[in-house]
Amino acid sequence: MLPLLETRGLSRSFGGLQAVSNVDFRLDKGEVRAVIGPNGAGKTTFVSLISGRIAPTAGTIAFEGEDVTPLPAFRRVRRGIAYTFQITSIYSNLTAEENVALAAHQPGRKASLEQLSRVGLAERAAQLAGTLSYGHQRLLEVAMGLALRPKLLILDEPTQGLSDAEIEGFIALVRDVAAEATVLLIEHNMPVVMELAHRITVLDRGSILAEGSPAEIRANHAVQDAYLGTG
């Protein structure tokens, strides 16, 4: 089966720092894939390469069998790749509803409210985005990503700043989204990762250290030593 996303030899250096190094990665349609690793492992750089926010030093990126390596971010969005940033990228002086409408390029109120409702923010539709709590800003960003009707939704640290109850809601949301889109998740909250991910990719120093099911990753001694702290 043709993968939804595939990278070959993907690399990115910043001066003398090799942030991502020769990564071969395959993501199949319908997966919930988690990317984990210690701070500085190259996770955000990796998904920034996939989304087109930065260009690779070497290697290729294919989406639905098409080489998208030279395409800018906005053209990848049109092909169905949506990326919510690790640092919130909302428009502070617009309402939550207006943020979603702007992301979707659809002025209709119904579509915006639908996505806000999915993330639990329907009651805050008229609130200025800049006055939302940090956790709610993250959820707004997810709603903005969903409004694009993506084939691939990339979520970078989405549970950061969320309460326990909001995290439970987020887990239910990702399961709902996974019925219609593939999800690539960068997340430090390991219970969330273990509960949601079909497969896990572990990055360490810009390279893939291990890949496998949650059970396989939990039992992997190299991962335990490098990241999970149980080795």
pLDDT tens column, 201-229: 999 999 999 999 999 999 998 888 876 55
Nearest Cα residue to 183 out of 172, 197, 169, 166 = 197
Whole-angstrom Cα distance, residue 194 to residue 198? 8
- Greater model confidence, 135 or 26: 26
Nearest Cα residue to 178 out of 202, 156, 197, 201 = 197
Fold of the CATH domain 29-53+71-228: Rossmann fold (3.40.50)
Domain ranges within the chain, ordered by starting residue: 29-53+71-228
Residues above pLDDT 70, as percent of the chain = 95
Q: How confident is the model at residue 123 (pLDDT cuts 50, 70, 90)?
A: very high
Q: How confident is the model at residue 88 (pLDDT cuts 50, 70, 90)?
A: low
Neighbours of 92 (CB within 10 A): 12
Q: Are strands 81-84 and 66-67 parallel, antiparallel or unpaired?
A: unpaired
Residue 101 pLDDT > 60: yes
Lowest-confidence region among 29-33, 87-91, 130-134, 216-220:
87-91
